[in-house]
Amino acid sequence: MTRTLRRWAIPVVVLTAALTLSSCGSALGGSESTSGGEDSDRTLTLALSRQLTGLNPHNGGSPDSDGSVKGTVYEALTYLDPDGSVHPRLAESWENTGPLQWKFDIRDGVEFSDGTPLTAEDVVWNFQELLDPETKSQLGAQFKIYVDSVSTDEPGVVTFDLKSPAIDLPSRLWNIYLTTPQFWQTGNLNTEALGTGPYTLASIDLENGAKLTANPNYWGEQPAFENAEYKVLAAESARVSAVQAGEVDIALNLDPLSIGQFESNPDYDTTLSDSSWVQVISINENKGGPLADVRVRQALNYAVDKKSIIDGLLGGAVEPSQGQVIAPPFYETNPAVGEYPYDPDKARQLLAEAGYATGVVLDLDVPAGTYAAGAAIGQAVAQQAADVGITINITETPFPAWLSRQNQDSAAAADLVYIGWGGQYQNSWAVFDPFTSKSRYKQSNITDPEFDDVVNRLQAATDEASARQLADQATQIYHDRAHTVFLWPGTFTSVVANDIDWPSRTTRYLYAQQVTKK
């Protein structure tokens, strides 16, 4: 993956009221727990922008909260490097033994942090739990779609028999973390953890963060830091203050207005760039009302001046979306599909044709502290929409409350949701899953059997040419029916202490074991 990282300074006159910046604290090094250079007692401290909702290893997890912590204490059969390439982890190797079968060789000599050896039977049990009809986890819901059974009939080998071809199966398994059947039955899955990872969980407070200790029995390379701490700093101002005071080593998801102040400081390395996901406003069509009409959804797309928001709030780091829910570098977009241009007159015309010339009132949910300039962007979108007769009322809530609302039935969920979504690895067409009618996620609250059928056939394709054709068809359908408000590729921002190295992941997963000392 090749990308250009942009560094910049933004004029103070642009939306200076959007942030409250703390002037307290000192340069990095003012806190013994997060600095000290060669101090062996140093605790690596990482800022998260979302509250934790729990550590259940079969529930996936946001990169800005649970997902980053889980990836330090748990492991999966495979893992993804920062450029989205898949590598062995608890599986040493794998083989596609037929159109509907894969075999994975399980690594020898691995123990869980309580000393229990990892066996092929443990691996099978974890996947059978996901396949159980009673399992309600998000990962399980997706896994059941394409996997028929998981078994072991020879020592150290696990066999996946599929319902449909999955030529990228190793990549799909990267965040299905493994634990022991006994812990699953007796432990508290949200506030305790038992995995094979490089760290063990010392303590957790879902609202405030988690403390970790290096696993002395880890089968792989020991992490550079004996102790690590994740601090939940959901407010933008809290992350800025923590960096200013030297209380954290890495902070992500800072607003572009915040990044500029750290660029000239020799204690920090800063990044503002595009990312591997797309930012959208998801549309709850299943709720009925105005949003069930494609003309209203198209009007929303024409009403948003994406370029002005990018330039004013995101430092010009990205370009407007090409009207698709895929984007480089992990995906090649459909060249025949273009962006919805800013055209307020067209938006008013479509609203009138749909019978809403007198206006529409909608509600928009924005997760607090999750996306760069998220609150300010919501306000900008609402102001632009108001110019064409669409009134948008904004609710900004902490991540757990926001997630709870989005997981309700369509009738109770928000009309609109500001959200980012994208692939974690290259060339996986599972990227479309959250946008289909079958999805348990609320990126897309739609009912579109034709789109679903194309995505199903795309994910079962066995050659690249067929997959490309179906992907282009899927993007065209989704664009024409305006199932979402297409905005831009997500922005990636980071502030990293200059005495450590971290292989930047624009997917925002922040794993303590990947941070090293210079």
Residues 6+ apart with CB under 8 A from 311: none
Residue 76 and residue 174 in contact, taking contact as beta carbons nearer than 8 Å: yes
Check whether residue 377 and residue 425 sit in a common domain.
yes
Type of residue at 57 = P
Cα separations in angstroms, 313 against 260, 298, 449: 12, 24, 37
- The number of beta carbons lying within 10 Å of the beta carbon of residue 471 is 24
Indicate whether this model's pTM tops 0.85: no
Domain-embedded: residue 36? no
Residue ending a domain, among 159, 178, 197, is 178
pLDDT at 35 over 80: no
Whether 2 maps to a domain, the answer reads no
Q: What is the CATH classification number for the domain harbouring 161?
A: 3.90.76.10
Specify the number of domains making up the chain.
Answer: 3
259 and 401 share one domain: no
Structure token digits, residue 217: 């029995």
- What value does the mean pLDDT take over residues 189-210? 97
Give yes or no for a contact between 78 and 86, defined as CB atoms under 8 angstroms apart: yes
pLDDT tier at 8 (50, 70, 90 boundaries)? very low
Angle among Cα 79, 139, 512 to the nearest 5 degrees reads 40
Same domain, 205 and 330: no
Q: How many CB atoms lie within 10 A of CB 334?
A: 20
- Take residue 88 and report the two structure tokens written for it: 């062995």
Place of tokens 């078994």: 151
Enter the tokens of residue 54.
């729990």
96 lies in some domain? yes
Are 312 and 436 contained in the same domain?
yes
Mark whether 446 and 364 lie in a shared domain: yes
- Output the average pLDDT for the chain: 87
Structure tokens at 399: 């991540």
User: Whole domain around residue 457: which residue ranges?
Assistant: 275-491
pLDDT at 15: 29
In a domain, 17, yes or no: no
Residue 131, φ and ψ in degrees, nearest 5: -80, -15
pLDDT at position 14 is: 29
Are 336 and 464 members of one domain?
Answer: yes
| Range of lowest pLDDT (23-37, 218-232, 258-272) | 23-37
Residues 6+ apart with CB under 8 A from 471: 326, 331, 334, 429, 458
Which CATH number fits the domain that encloses residue 221?
Answer: 3.40.190.10
454 is a domain residue: yes
pLDDT value for 17: 29
pLDDT at 71: 97
Q: Is there a single domain that holds both residue 158 and residue 213?
A: no
Q: Where is average pLDDT lowest: 163-172, 342-351, 383-392?
A: 163-172
Q: Is the pLDDT of residue 179 over 90?
A: yes
Mean pLDDT for 117-130 is 97
The answer to whether residue 16 sits within a structural domain is no
189 and 130 fall within a common domain: no
pLDDT digits 0-9 by tens, 57-103:
999 888 889 999 999 999 999 999 888 889 999 999 999 999 999 99
The answer to whether position 14 is within a domain reads no
Mind listing the pLDDT tens digit for each residue in 223-265?
999 999 999 998 888 999 999 999 999 999 888 878 888 888 8
Residue 142 and residue 65 in contact, taking contact as beta carbons nearer than 8 Å: no
Q: What per-residue confidence (pLDDT) applies to 441? A: 57
Q: Name the percent of the chain lying above pLDDT 70.
A: 90
- Same domain for 473 and 344: yes
Pick the last residue of a domain from 162, 178, 194: 178
Would you state the structure tokens that stand for residue 94, as one six-digit string? 């794998």
Q: What angle do CA 183, 188, 189 make, to 5 degrees?
A: 75
Alpha-carbon Rg for the chain in angstroms: 23
- Report the SS3 class of residue 353: helix
Same-domain check for residues 250 and 334: no
Residue 28, pLDDT above cutoff 80: no
Location of structure tokens 């028929």: 148
Q: Residue 41 — very low, low, confident or very high, per pLDDT cuts 50/70/90?
A: confident
Cβ-proximal residues to 209 (8 Å cutoff; 6+ apart), any chain: 48, 52, 229, 230, 231, 232
Structure tokens at 33: 């727990």
**pLDDT per position as a tens digit, 356-405:** 999 999 999 998 767 878 889 999 999 999 999 999 999 988 777 777 77
CATH of the domain at 427: 3.10.105.10
Note whether residue 1 is domain-resident: no
The one-character DSSP state at 59 is S
pLDDT of residue 424: 66
pLDDT in the model for residue 426: 62
Higher pLDDT, 163 or 432: 163
- Mark whether 144 and 161 lie in a shared domain: yes
Tell whether the model's pLDDT for residue 5 goes beyond 90.
Answer: no
Residue 308: closest CA among 383, 416, 258, 369: 383
Is 487 in the same domain as 503?
no
